[in-house]
Amino acid sequence: MRKTNLKKLLALIIALIMVASSLTYIVSAAENGAEEPPQDGLTAAEIDDGYSSPWAFWDIFMAENVYGLGERGTYSNFKGHFTWEKFKPALESMTLKFGIESEWPDGRYEDGVFLTRGEVISDLHVVIATILEFSGLLDDSLDYFVENGLIKGRGNGDYQLDAACTTEEMIILAKRVHEHIIYELGLDSKGFFWKVTGENNDVYILGSIHISDGSLYPVSRAISAAFDGAEYIGFEIIDVTEEEEAYYYEKGFLDGMTIDEIIDPYLYEFYEVVWQMLGVEKEIYDYLQPWMAWSELQYILMAMTGDENETIDDIFYNMLTMMGLGIDNYFMFKSTFDEKEMFQLESVTLQADMFASFSYELQEALLAGVLMEFYMMLEGGEIEDEEIDESEDYMSAAESLSAMLIAWKTGDEAAMLEFSGKNAENDDPLVGEYNNKLLTLRDIAMAEKIILILDESEGEGDYFIIVGAAHLVGEGSIIDILIKAGYEVERIK
């Protein structure tokens, strides 16, 4: 991999703590109606001389960047009309996603003739009927779309079926159909979701996964409805000031010494090899605190595809994409788009202090674990550790992430508790320190803030709070604390 510079690595590091740092063009576009195009990191939806309408922006973003409907050429000329050649890829992408072989002959409609709203609805209805395996006459298309809320009229029941359909209308209809099929098949994500009833209002609490591959969407209708009805949306962190960013760097970088003076010499040898393979200079990685190096490397590991030609820029892009598709970012972007009032339960300085409080023994153990993963991926070697070799439950970082995503989609609380390692029997003092500082103490502090909301707010509106899923499962979790405090707590699936 080619060399990177200090600015690139620092950007990569701060991306781990700035929940809203990735895909920030969504926020600005939602605020200004996408009148001014962003200058960097353009998506296909933005590389066009005609931008989508502000009201359509969110649906188009989801259709392209999350669901992958159509192809690059689909996302252009949003307010103009389109022909069959542009519509066909959107249809085919949906059928392929659900394992259905589509047969859409070329020339289905005359060349150069714009498709009408009625024709788009008719073809999308065929997709629905094929995937859901029910018989439906084409004449039933409009009735089906109206009954299932897939189309909205323009007043007096006028759906203008004979009018030429715009590109943005087609994309929005395709996105709605895609989500409708997922809901009908029961493939929507159930998540870890609770309702806490207070005297004056309700607090909904959703457990998050901070990164994903986009397979978590759409979330269940219950989650979406609670979010839509809430006045206030809470996150662990929503913003990072320049002062907080500087503080995080101060805590994360060594001053007056280098990391080789702290960690085991043998471990440092491989530490150096890994960073060199990633193309990072010695004057950068030598001054990382062990916890910062561990935090950085574990996210890099999950963002790597294994392509030997992969560059640090590729990894950076993959990481931002995965973070942008995390549950936190999804609801943060949607909160901005819907003009919700947001607040945070923690701060970057609090989290920096928490990591910096890890003993050097714990930091070294965490770093050693992620370096073993790199050894397996980059060298194709086997870890010579009897405990790991004899364990059938050992999973790589990529396997663990995949399993966690499945647990989140299905709402498997037992699986998520196992991943967290929170209540597992273990007399290792380093495990105890890790769980206590990363989870237990933060669970108590966040639960106390939620209790203040339940006790002191005066019914001005419901709250929807999102924190890491590990904070909501098991003994001593936020949910456990609220139950023991006497609140009515209901798990919603």
Q: List pLDDT tens digits, range 64-88.
A: 989 999 998 899 999 999 999 899 9
d(CA 237, CA 348): 7
Give the domain-ending residue among 139, 167, 184: 184
The residue with greater pLDDT, 14 or 316, is 316
Nearest to 453 by CA among 475, 478, 428: 478
Q: 3-state DSSP call for residue 464?
A: strand
Do 278 and 141 share a domain, yes or no?
Answer: no
Do 323 and 349 share a domain, yes or no?
Answer: yes
The residue with greater pLDDT, 342 or 459, is 342
Do 111 and 211 share a domain, yes or no?
Answer: no
Residue 21 included in any domain: no
Residue 25 included in any domain: no
DSSP state of 414: H
Q: Which residues contact 397 (CB under 8 A, 6 or more apart)?
A: 298, 301, 302, 370, 373
Residue 37 included in any domain: yes
Hey, which bits of 248-396 come out as E strands? 341-344
- For residue 342, what are the β-bridge partners? 233
Do 165 and 197 share a domain, yes or no?
Answer: no
Do 216 and 178 share a domain, yes or no?
Answer: no
Structure tokens at 330: 């999804």
d(CA 203, CA 195): 6
pLDDT at 137 (0 to 100): 54
Give the domain-ending residue among 184, 202, 219: 184
Do 291 and 430 share a domain, yes or no?
Answer: yes
Residue 26 included in any domain: no
pLDDT at 162 (0 to 100): 92
Residue 277 included in any domain: yes
The string of DSSP letters for 140-197 reads: GHHHHHHHTT----SSTT---TTSBPBHHHHHHHHHHHHHHHHHHTT-SB--EEEEEE
pLDDT at 184 (0 to 100): 95
The residue with greater pLDDT, 331 or 158, is 331
Q: Regarding beta strands 192-197 and 202-208, do their DSSP bridges make them parallel or antiparallel, or are they unpaired?
A: antiparallel
Residue 24 included in any domain: no
**Range name among 177-181, 198-202, 329-333, 473-477 with the lowest pLDDT average:** 198-202
Residue 2 included in any domain: no
Do 263 and 129 share a domain, yes or no?
Answer: no
Q: Which residues contact 285 (CB under 8 A, 6 or more apart)?
A: 259, 271, 272, 275, 293
Q: What is the CA angle 102-104-110, rounded to 5?
A: 165
Do 156 and 267 share a domain, yes or no?
Answer: no
Residue with tokens 């298309």: 141
Task: Specify the pTM.
Answer: 0.84
Residue with tokens 């966690």: 404
Residue 19 included in any domain: no
pLDDT digits (tens, 9 = 90+) for 445-455: 999 999 999 98
Do 162 and 200 share a domain, yes or no?
Answer: no
C-beta of residue 59 within 8 angstroms of C-beta of residue 178? no
C-beta of residue 336 within 8 angstroms of C-beta of residue 239? no
Structure tokens at 174: 């395709």
pLDDT at 7 over 60: no
Q: What is the mean pLDDT of residues 252-271?
A: 94
Host domain of residue 127: 33-184
Do 457 and 333 share a domain, yes or no?
Answer: yes
Q: Which residues contact 376 (CB under 8 A, 6 or more apart)?
A: 382, 383, 396
Q: Regarding beta strands 232-235 and 341-344, do their DSSP bridges make them parallel or antiparallel, or are they unpaired?
A: parallel
Do 371 and 414 share a domain, yes or no?
Answer: yes
Residue with tokens 């296909």: 44
Give the domain-ending residue among 152, 184, 216: 184
Do 155 and 285 share a domain, yes or no?
Answer: no
Hey, which bits of 9-89 come out as E strands? none
Whether residue 218 is preceded by a cis peptide bond, meaning omega within 30 degrees of 0, is yes
Domain tally, the chain = 2
The residue with greater pLDDT, 15 or 319, is 319
